[in-house]
Structure formats: structure tokens, C-alpha cells
Amino acid sequence: MSFDTLGLSDKVLEAVKASGYTEPTPIQAEAIPHVMQRRDVLGIAQTGTGKTASFTLPMLSLLEKGRARARMPRTLILEPTRELAAQVEENLNRYSENQKLNVALLIGGTSFEDQFKKLDRGVDILIATPGRLLDCFERGKILMTGVEVMVIDEADRMLDMGFIPDIERICKMVPFTRQTLFFSATMPPEIEGLANKFLQNPVMVSVAKASSTSDTITQHAVASDYEDYEKRAKLRELIEGSQELKNGIIFCNRKKDVATVFRSLDRHGYSVGALHGDMDQTSRTATLNTFKDNKITLLVASDVAARGLDIPDVSHVFNYDVPVNAEDYVHRIGRTGRAGRTGVAYMIVVPTEQKGFDAIESLIDQKINWLNDEAVEWDAKAGRRGRGKSAKGGKAKPAPKAKDQKPNDAPDSTDTNIKHSEAPKQNNKRGGKKPYHEQVDLEYSDAKHAFGGDEHIPAFLR
């Protein structure tokens, strides 16, 4: 199948050929004809399969007829992050090079005045994050009554991560007769129910099992102890041992850990950058462009880089933390193995993350291989990592003794003749040594004097 059979305009087809695309991906082949027919579409496909072109190409074809008016965009594309919005703008500018269409980007971290000037000239395609769009609307700088097509990209993130009230407000601002398109790599049932509120008789386009990972990605898990310095050492070990490492993204759950891991790798001489949501937009864009241009090898990032960023040549993904949401794992490792390329994904797992690890395996419906073929078992009660028999036939270590187990020589707790000072201290974290207040041989109930006081002690202090 070729793009010529999808009903796209001649100008769009010329731009597609100039971009080097010859055949549409499965999601593009299934979704584009429905979009061209003005149908609402709910599209689900693995990350890296060309979902962005599934709505931008037909949108450009539909917009060839008509003209933009001041402050009244004709189409609206909502994105969860600034980076993803900027990437969509880049793709649209490339695909629309043969057309006289105005594309505007409305995101936080940039000047309001520059964005207002573009809106005043008239915009055919508006790409925005929900917060900045609502800010402009409340200032009276934009009217949504002319929107013909509304796209909600990364729909599960938009609906599941606090954007529901904003999306509901925006949907009330645009005409009821609009065409609505939802695209995402994951779509849990509860999120699908929310999406149906905004779609009218939608066409369900699913070219792969929801929340599945690409077969081109080799996935590994490696066990680590709790201490952060051990996790960082394990990360460096994985980086050094990775064959054919061209570049890689290291994902952390917290912005604090992003900064810590970045400083650690930089101190050890690695070519590394950092990216998280608290950085200003100029720094975020500069860091991302530096990584795209291969001027740095490693990028330590929060989940702000996990969604939709198209960097085709990423060879490795390292999960420094197990993602809090299992769906985020699909998006994280989707930064590698894109467009038919192969990729490698590692995940460092500590005992407290066992539940999250199990949730990921359940979501993707496959087992993740432990590094060195070792079977890893977690002792939940003791809070320690235990090793099962490895593939080399090694013996398993005995399970650690429970902390509340009574020693053989401990006196029986029913012996009422034992003084308080002689009673065994249970769960003592000081290796059997008594705390200081127990080493003092003093019965406080019989004390007539207080340390450091005089003989005249009020009754309530005795």
C-alpha cells in the first residue's frame, strides 16, 4: 500500500515523498481514510509507529480549502508537554512546505506577546498545551468558535494526569460539530470511558494490542539494593557493559533524582545532560537539541521526555527507577527501537519496587529477562533481596531470619521475676546494645531527685 491510495491531496503527497516516506505504517493506513471522511477516531498503536502523521497529513489536506481569521484557529492540537508540542510543529512545517498555512505554537515558558501576534494574523493550525491555551482564552486573545478539527494527542496522559477539568472546559469552548481525534499508545478501560465523552460515534483504530511493547526492543531487568550509591554504580556498570551504545536516555521518577544522577555521571566523566519539568523552556529546548545532534551521549530525564518525542537513533533506554505507572514503562522504552530499528531497555529494580515490576509484566503480558539469567526472589518480610538458583547451578542463599524471631537463649516472657533492666530488647537496631536510657540504673518511679534539679520538685514532676 502507498500513500496515494489514502485520499491525501497532491501537495501533501509531494511533501511526504520529499520526506522520504514510501509506505504508510499500519496506524496511518487505518486512520487516515477515516479522518479524511470527517469521522471521529480513537487510535491506539505502539509508540514510534507514526501516530503524529496519522492526524497531521489528513488535517493538512482538509485545510487546503478555507481561510484563517484573526484569533480564530481552524484546528486545535492539544499536547501534554511543551517538547511534544514543539515536535508536532516541526513535523507540520515540513509537511506543509507546499501550502500557505499558518502554524502557531502556544506553550508555557515563552513570550505571550509573540504568541498573540501570531494569533492576530490568523492561524490555520494551533498546537497548544492546555494551561497556556486557557490563559489566552481568559485574556480574550483567542476565540474557539471556528475550530473544525480538535486533536488530543497522548490521550491517556491528557486524561489521566490531572488534565480532565481542562479538557472538559476546552471541549465546551469549541463547536459541538467539530471532528475529534484521540491518539495514544495506551488506553486503559477507564480512560477509554472518559474519551467516549468527547467523541461522537468514533471509529476505533487499533493496530496492536494496547499497552504492548515493540518486538524490536530487547528488555532486561537487573536487581539492586536500596542504597542510592549502589543504584548509581549499577547504572554505570550497565552503561559500560552495553554493546553498541550510541546514545541513551536514563529515566528517573523524581526531578531530585534527575539532578543527582546527572551530577554523578558528569563527575565520572560521561557526556551527559539533564531534562526535567522545572527547567525553563529555553534550557529544555537547548538540551534536547544537543542530544538530538549527538553532542551528548546520555540524557537523564523525568517522564517529561517519555511521551512522543521522536529521536529515531536512540539505541538504549535505562530505567533508573521502576515507573510509578506501568503505562509509563511502555512510553519510556518506546524512545528506542523506533521505525523498525532495534533497541535495548534496562530497568533497575529494588525490593520495594517489586509490585510495580509485577504490574509492568502484567500490562505488557510478557516476562522481562533478568540480567545473567538469574531468577530473582524478593523476601518481602525481611525487606532484602534473595537469589534463587541461577542458570549456572549455584545454590540459593538461605532466607534471612525474621527480626521478631526469639533467640534460643532469650528468657521466657512469662517469667515475672525478670527486672525491666534485664528484659531482652526486641527488634533492637543497635546490634544488641541497649539504648542509653536503659543503661542508667535508675527506677524513675522511686526517684526523689531529678538530675540537675534541687530538692524542691513539684509533685507533678516526681
Of 164, 104, 115, the closest CA to residue 139 belongs to 115
Residue type, 173: M
Q: Would you tell me the crossing angle of helices 326-333 and 354-364 to the nearest 10 degrees?
A: 70
SS3 of 233-292? HHHHHHHHHCCCCCCEEEECCCHHHHHHHHHHHHHCCCCEEEECCCCCHHHHHHHHHHHH
How far is the CA of 349 from the CAs of 1, 48, 189, 360, 410, in angstroms?
43, 26, 28, 12, 37
Beta strands 316-319; 272-275: pairing state: unpaired
User: Are the C-beta atoms of residues 109 and 86 closer than 8 Å to each other?
Assistant: no
Look at residue 102 in the predicted model and tell me its pLDDT.
93
Give the cell for residue 374. 538469574
Which fold does the domain 3-206 belong to in CATH?
Rossmann fold (3.40.50)
| pLDDT for the residue 449 | 45
**Which pLDDT does position 387 carry in this prediction?**
41
Burial (CB count <10 Å: 0-12, 13-18, 19+), residue 404: exposed
Number of residues in the chain: 462
- Distance CA(171)–CA(180), nearest Å, equals 10
d(CA 81, CA 310): 13
What was the pLDDT predicted at 161? 65
What is the predicted pLDDT for the residue at 456? 62
**Structure-block grid coordinates of residue 326:** 506501568
**In terms of DSSP bridges, do strands 343-349 and 316-319 run parallel, antiparallel, or are they unpaired?**
parallel
Cα–Cα–Cα angle for 144, 147, 149, rounded to 5 degrees = 140
Same fold, 3-206 and 217-387: yes
pLDDT at 400: 43
Specify the residue for cell string 478501560.
Answer: 189
Domain boundaries, the chain: 3-206, 217-387
Q: 313: how many CB neighbours lie within 10 A of its CB? A: 13
Which residue type is seen at 67?
R
**Strand ranges for 110-176 from DSSP E:** 125-128, 149-153
Reduced to 3 states (helix: H, G, I; strand: E, B; else coil), residue 144 is coil
Residue 273: its pLDDT value, please? 94
| Helix spans in 21-147 (H) | 26-36, 51-62, 82-95, 112-121, 130-138
pLDDT attached to residue 162: 74
Question: What torsion do the CA atoms of 134, 136, 140, 143 make, to the nearest 10 degrees?
Answer: -70
Please list the rounded mean pLDDT of every run of 10 residues in the chain (462 residues).
Answer: 91 92 90 95 80 93 90 94 88 91 90 89 94 93 94 79 84 94 78 80 81 84 85 94 91 92 95 87 85 92 73 89 88 82 92 92 91 52 41 40 43 40 42 45 43 58 67
Assigned CATH class of 217-387 = alpha beta
Give the end-to-end CA distance of the chain in Å, rounded to a whole number.
92
Q: For residue range 357-383, what is the model confidence (pLDDT) as tens digits?
A: 999 999 888 999 998 554 445 444 334
The pLDDT of residue 176 is 92
